[in-house]
């Protein structure tokens, strides 16, 4: 069995792990190693602040070294940067770095590919290759920020993959992102976006996770949501929205964010607005409208006039409505456009026909 990688370990677990390895002054050494890995971007043993004895003891118990190769980097006209890192087994780890006047946001992937088969998302065509490890997620952040010469202030798990399918690894990554010996991001600036795995949302709520949880809703009409997101056949809307109400109550969240990809002729008519009014009763929610980004296929992107009209009708629901501009969308970096440039290599059929059935827990 392969030795565990140091970057995969939760920062709070390092002192105990180092003590078990026989390292003297384990708590102090663990602090210094965590800071070197997560804030100074150390990638190799010789870059860690370790004496000969401590390093020898740790090398007998753990691996350390780069988990990702040199990335392919694309820069959009608006300054958005996309990184595609090759993992050691060839899987692609894709992240997008977005700058604005107030923040530097990194859109993180939790999986290589995705199993959900959402019909509006290009990543679905890849199928699911595998889950990413916490170390791969954290290294992608460190190296993208270092390459761009910025400190990432916000992260959202909204790249490739369904974060709650890779629950434990994503939670460990979030713990390290927030830890003061890790990247030290505010818990309010760490967001996890889910397509709606009801049991995992309930687990998230029961564990009182402090990171923001966003739900990709996209329709409050059951048949439309099933058309867009086959996972809805497993987790129907009544149970899903009850789980979000449970999350709001247990985690004391004033407002939950519901993401809504707006697609003309599919989910922007008055029927869908009325369904939102009915379904969202008792849920203090912000509607985050995301105009669909063109990836080909049966849909078309809305005009801004259509988006404004839809937003105005949503305002009648009495809840806050935001319209999100997808940075980098003209260069294939926007919401729903991530494929790591691998679509030509994707297997034909199989992965996305009915993968949701294996994720019912």
Catalytic residue among 94, 136, 139, 162: 94
Catalytic residue among 118, 174, 251, 335: 335
Q: Are 319 and 280 in contact (CB under 8 A)?
A: yes
Other beta carbons within 10 angstroms of residue 28's beta carbon come to 12
Give the per-residue SS3 of the chain.
CCCCEHHHCCHHHHHHHHHHCCCCCHHHHHHHHHHHHHCCCCCCHHHCCCCHHHHHHHHCCCECCCCECCCEEEECCCCCEEEEEEECCCCEEEEEEEECCCCEEEEECCEEECCCCCCCCHHHHHCEEEECCHHHHHHHHHHHHHHHCCCCCEEEECCCCCHHHHHHHHHHHHHHHHCCCCCCCCHHHEEEEECCCHHHHHHHHHCCCCCEEEEECCCCCHHHHHHHCHHHHCCCHHHHHHHHHHHHHHCCCCCEEEEEEECCCCCCCHHHHHHHHHHCCCCCEEEEEEECCCCCCCCCCCCHHHHHHHHHHHHCCCCCEEECCCCCHHHCCCCCCCCCCCHHHCCCCCCCCCHHHHCCC
Q: Are 192 and 157 in contact (CB under 8 A)?
A: yes
Is residue 335 part of the annotated active site? The answer reads yes
Is residue 94 part of the annotated active site? The answer reads yes
Q: Which phi-psi region, left, alpha or beta, contains residue 235 (left: φ > 0; alpha: ψ -120 to 50)?
A: beta
Q: Which residues participate in catalysis according to the annotation?
A: 94, 335
């Amino acid at each position: 069995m392969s030795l565990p990688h140091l970057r995969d370990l939760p920062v709070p677990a390092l002192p105990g792990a180092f003590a078990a390895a026989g390292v003297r002054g384990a708590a102090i050494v663990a602090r210094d190693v965590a800071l070197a890995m997560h804030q100074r971007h150390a990638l190799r043993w010789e870059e860690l602040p370790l004496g000969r004895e401590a390093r020898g003891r740790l090398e007998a118990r753990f691996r350390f070294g780069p988990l990702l190769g040199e990335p392919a980097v694309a820069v959009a006209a608006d300054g958005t940067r996309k990184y595609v890192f090759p993992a050691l087994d060839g899987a692609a780890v894709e992240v997008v770095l977005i700058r604005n006047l107030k923040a530097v946001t990194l859109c993180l992937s939790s999986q290589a590919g995705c199993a959900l088969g959402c019909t509006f998302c290009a990543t679905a065509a890849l199928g699911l290759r595998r889950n990413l490890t916490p170390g791969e997620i954290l290294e992608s952040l460190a190296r993208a920020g270092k390459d761009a010469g910025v400190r990432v202030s916000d992260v959202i798990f909204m790249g490739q993959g369904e974060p709650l399918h890779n629950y434990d690894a994503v939670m460990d990554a979030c713990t390290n992102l927030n830890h003061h010996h890790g990247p030290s991001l505010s818990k309010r600036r760490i967001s996890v976006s889910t397509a709606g795995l009801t049991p995992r949302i309930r687990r998230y709520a029961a564990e009182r996770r402090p990171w923001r949880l966003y739900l990709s809703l996209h329709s409050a009409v059951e048949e439309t949501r099933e058309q867009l997101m086959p996972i809805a056949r497993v987790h129907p809307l009544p149970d899903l929205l009850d789980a979000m109400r449970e999350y709001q109550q247990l985690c004391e969240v004033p407002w939950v964010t519901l993401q809504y990809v707006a697609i003309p002729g599919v989910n922007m008519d008055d029927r869908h607005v009325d369904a939102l009014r009915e379904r969202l009763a008792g849920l203090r929610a912000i509607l985050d409208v995301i105009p669909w980004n063109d990836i080909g296929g049966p849909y078309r992107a809305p005009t801004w006039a259509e988006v404004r009209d839809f937003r105005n009708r949503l305002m009648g629901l009495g809840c806050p409505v935001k319209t999100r501009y997808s940075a980098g969308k003209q260069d294939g970096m926007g919401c729903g456009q991530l494929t790591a440039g691998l679509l030509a290599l994707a297997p034909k059929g199989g992965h996305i026909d009915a993968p949701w059935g294996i994720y019912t827990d």
